[in-house]
Amino acid sequence: MIVGGGPIGAAIAIALQGSGLDVLVLEARPDAGSSNDARTLAMSYGSRLILERLGIWPQIEPVTPIESIHVSQRGGFGRTLLSAEDAGLPALGYVTRYSGLQHAFGRALVSERTRLMTGTEVTGMQSTAHRIAIEFLTHAGSQSIAARLLIIADGGASMGLRAGATVKVREYGQDAVVGLVETSRPHGRKAYERFTPDGPIALLPYESRYALVWTAAPDTADRLMALPAAAFLEKLQLHFGDRAGRFVSIEARARFPLTLRYAEDPVLPRAVMLGNAAQALHPIAGQGFNLGLRDAWELGETLLLHGKPDPGSDACLSRYRALRRPDRLRGIALTHSLVKIFSNDIVPLRAARGAALSLLELLPPAKRAFMQRMIFGASR
Ligand SMILES: Cc1cc2nc3c(=O)[nH]c(=O)nc-3n(C[C@H](O)[C@H](O)[C@H](O)COP(=O)(O)OP(=O)(O)OC[C@H]3O[C@@H](n4cnc5c(N)ncnc54)[C@H](O)[C@@H]3O)c2cc1C
């Protein structure tokens, strides 16, 4: 049983199609293919390879390639340019909207005839030695069902599915304000990541515009959300500078609170947490979905190889835990340290950050190693 038909729950369901395992997906939304979530996601080139193997890649549209990323800090020296050419890849990543991704996954779930129950909210679970039972609510009332393995891919939303797990939480005191901005200059498939003492700000090329991710303290985010468009653009110009040209319009503004939340151990008796259910990260390095997709792919591989006769056995889930540990822990640590090191105005740190960015620029092998880690994750 898979709780959550978001991108990661859907990815594992699709990875298990044809495995001979009997799979059921339970999704709270009434339609697994539609979403009104306004965020855009940068998918790494490594994610593209997984999505191709799942047969989903051609269905995701529109998708805009990122060919280079300009990284800098406000009020300090040091900058670096990461390019697809240096990485030896056609693109560093691709930008799409969460809703577009959800649409593609939703269609694949339905067309591939995965057993899918929508409008179904799972409220609790209970495991015994051989089964795990869940309770869920539908329009018809409360019901329960049991299986040998529960895959929790609910994005971290349901407390009733975390009983027994140790979950670490770090509040950043930052919110992300997102939107689509038009500039006076074409983006040329270049993304920008600029670190400021209030938090990072990113511009990702998306169709003819940029997807903006502007992190700020919650009270500043309140004000940014309330500003009329012209005043918002003025503030953005002051905050970001003129590297990308003049900001001329903003649409689809939305905001997301940012917290690091991760399970110390993603494996519970007869259950495993995947994607944001296992680790919800700050979007500073655009790693959340990419890490979650690698969770889904590797769980799929583990279940195909070791999931019979009992996919929820300790032996099978221990293999998955060991396989994912390095990538998970390094992804969490890298993202958390970037937030801590780059979101402040301490002078010696500013100088050290500048030196690190310049060093990356001067040492091509270090730059390549950094890009490999960001694109494909850590396997050892
Ligand atoms: C502003 C912002 C920008 C981001 N940018 C990037 C980026 O550039 N690159 C990147 O890699 N990541 C990024 N992320 C992270 C990325 O969005 C997440 O990692 C990804 O969406 C996780 O997918 P998921 O399927 O695990 O969870 P979700 O997307 O949260 O999906 C969970 C699903 O479970 C369902 N559900 C929840 N509770 C229940 C229940 N009790 N019963 C049944 N169903 C339930 C929900 O309806 C939903 O469909 C960003 C995040 C934010 C906030």
Ligand 1: atom nearest CA of 47 is: 11
Q: What is the mean pLDDT of residues 20-44?
A: 92
Taking every pair of C-alpha atoms in the chain, what is the biggest distance, in angstroms? 63
Residue nearest to atom 35 of ligand 1 (CA): 4
pLDDT tens-digit series, residues 161-200: 888 899 999 998 999 999 999 999 999 999 999 988 888 8
- Choice between 116 and 350, residue whose per-residue pLDDT is larger: 116
Instruction: Say if ligand 1 is within 6 A of residue 156 CB.
Output: no
94-121 core/surface letters (b: 16 or more CB in 10 A; e: else): bbbbbebbbbbbbebbeeeebebbbebb
Asked whether 158 lines ligand 1 (CB < 6 A), one says yes
Q: What is the pTM of this model?
A: 0.94
- Judge whether residue 347 has pLDDT over 70: no
Q: Is the CB of 256 under 6 A from ligand 1?
A: yes
Distances (CA, A) of 370 to 21, 53, 90: 38, 25, 17
- What per-residue confidence (pLDDT) applies to 361? 75
In the predicted structure, residue 95 carries a pLDDT above the cut 80: yes
Please tell me if the CB atom of residue 275 comes closer than 6 angstroms to any atom of ligand 1.
Answer: yes
Find the mean pLDDT for residues 251-275: 95
Contact 142, 9 (CB under 8 A): no
Q: From residue 265, give the alpha-carbon distance in Å to each of 41, 126, 161, 270, 277.
A: 26, 18, 14, 13, 11
pLDDT recorded at residue 112? 67
With the most atoms of ligand 1 within 8 angstroms of its CB, the residue from 63, 289, 376 to mutate is 289
Using 50, 70 and 90 to split pLDDT, how confident is the model at 70?
Answer: very high
User: Tell me, what DSSP letter sits at residue 56?
Assistant: -
How far, in Å, from the CA of 5 to the mean position of ligand 1?
10
290 lines ligand 1 (CB under 6 A): yes
199-249 pLDDT tens trace: 889 999 999 999 999 999 999 999 999 999 999 999 999 999 999 999 999
CA of 273 to the centre of ligand 1 (A): 13
Q: Over pLDDT 70: what percentage of the chain?
A: 96
338: pLDDT confidence band, cut at 50, 70 and 90?
Answer: confident
Nearest-CA residue for ligand 1 atom 39 is 154
Mean pLDDT within 130-143: 94
Local confidence band at 344 (pLDDT 50, 70, 90 cut-offs): low
Nearest by Cα to 263 from 155, 172, 338:
155
Verify whether ligand 1 is closer than 6 Å to residue 175 (CB atom). no
CA dist 276 to 31, 38, 113, 257, Å?
20, 17, 25, 14
Cα–Cα dist 114/10, whole Å: 10
pLDDT tens digits for range 291-330: 999 999 999 999 999 999 999 999 999 999 999 999 999 9
- Ligand 1 atom closest to the Cα of residue 158 is 41
